[in-house]
Amino acid sequence: KQEVTQIPAALSVPEGENLVLNCSFTDSAIYNLQWFRQDPGKGLTSLLLIQSSQREQTSGRLNASLDKSSGRSTLYIAASQPGDSATYLCAVISGNKLVFGAGTILRVKS
């Protein structure tokens, strides 16, 4: 059974810092990995999708990496802003469904 773990559970940083969110998964037989952002009580916004054959994807200040063999992914956020405050969820495509981690709650202080 696929299990996804995210570390840290919560993170508070001052504005402008670069930060890294970690995601690990137990079964390396994944099709791809997707990072999402969720604001309180809101829907899930897809940030980046990394296919299983890829090593990383970039979008603006976000960079996600994937090491499938070791079962790890990182989401790097450069020059963090207060508007980045949200919960960040990592999910792997395992079988025909996404399996989510518990998320990292990020707070960027101005």
- C-beta of 4 vs 77, nearer to another protein: 4
Could you give the CA distance from residue 97 to residue 95 in angstroms, rounded to a whole number?
A: 6
User: Site for another protein (CB under 8 A): how many residues?
Assistant: 25
Please give the residues from 2 up to 61 whose contact with another protein meets the rule CB under 8 A. 31-32, 34, 36, 41-46, 49, 51-52
- C-beta of 48 vs 77, nearer to another protein: 48
Q: Please state, in angstroms and as integers, the Cα–Cα distance from residue 94 to each residue in 3, 7, 56, 99, following that order.
A: 10, 20, 19, 7
Could you give the CA distance from residue 105 to residue 91 in angstroms, rounded to a whole number?
A: 15
By CB under 8 A, tell whether 99 contacts another protein. Answer: yes
Q: Which of 11, 86, 89, 106 binds another protein (CB under 8 A)?
A: 89
Helix-then-strand count for the chain, H and E: 0, 11
CB of 46 to another protein, least distance (A): 5
Interacting residues toward another protein by CB under 8 A? 31-32, 34, 36, 41-46, 49, 51-52, 89, 91, 93, 95-103
